[in-house]
Amino acid sequence: MNTYAFSAYKAAAKRRPRLVPRVSRMIRRTIPVGDLVLRLWVANAFWVSAITKVQSWDSTLYLFQEEYAVPLLPPELAAYLGTGVELAAPVLLAFGVLGRLAAAVLFLFNIAAVISYPDLGPAGLEQHRVWGVMLLVCWLHGPGRWSADRLWARHHSRRARARIPDADV
């Protein structure tokens, strides 16, 4: 091996350790974006479903009476509860307010939707699986850095650190 090739190899070997932390930092910087996109994507799916139910309420009641087999609940109550969950939980999830709770509620709601609609085809089942995995990630990972939960936690941790104990106590 000639001297030039050897010196180039040594120079590349010195640069390589700096490359890995740089790439790692770049990836870590994109994590909040990924968290936000994931939350918005799955929240949108449930939000659109809720809006469709609200826009044609008679059809919604009919579906809950004739098509959906929601266990343990009367059809009208199931329609109101289902629509309420689909209206509230996606908003909470999208903004990251009580993010883990909202993801858990939608995850369980997704399971109930699959169980209560036996005529769900393979494409619909696959779509619910994808939503389930996305919600499970949101539930286990949390809403991420760009969320109201994170802002609230930061605010309260700063206030807790700023408090000075009373000298009289």
Q: How many CB atoms lie within 10 A of CB 146?
A: 15
Q: How many CB atoms lie within 10 A of CB 149?
A: 20
Q: Give the closest residue to 132 by CA, choosing from 104, 90, 161, 153.
A: 104
Cα Rg for the chain, rounded, in angstroms?
25
Confidence check: pLDDT of 5 > 90: no
Please give the pLDDT value at position 167: 44
- Cβ atoms 99, 93 nearer than 8 A: yes
Please tell me the pTM assigned to this model: 0.77
Distance CA 57, CA 116 (A): 19
pLDDT digits (tens, 9 = 90+) for 50-81: 999 999 999 999 998 888 888 788 989 999 99
Confidence check: pLDDT of 135 > 60: yes
- Cβ atoms 43, 90 nearer than 8 A: yes
- Cβ atoms 144, 32 nearer than 8 A: yes
Q: How many CB atoms lie within 10 A of CB 89?
A: 24
Confidence check: pLDDT of 123 > 80: yes
Confidence check: pLDDT of 16 > 70: no
Coil/strand/helix, residue 17: helix
Distance CA 53, CA 86 (A): 9
CA distances, 103 to each of 16, 28, 32, 54 (Å): 40, 23, 17, 22
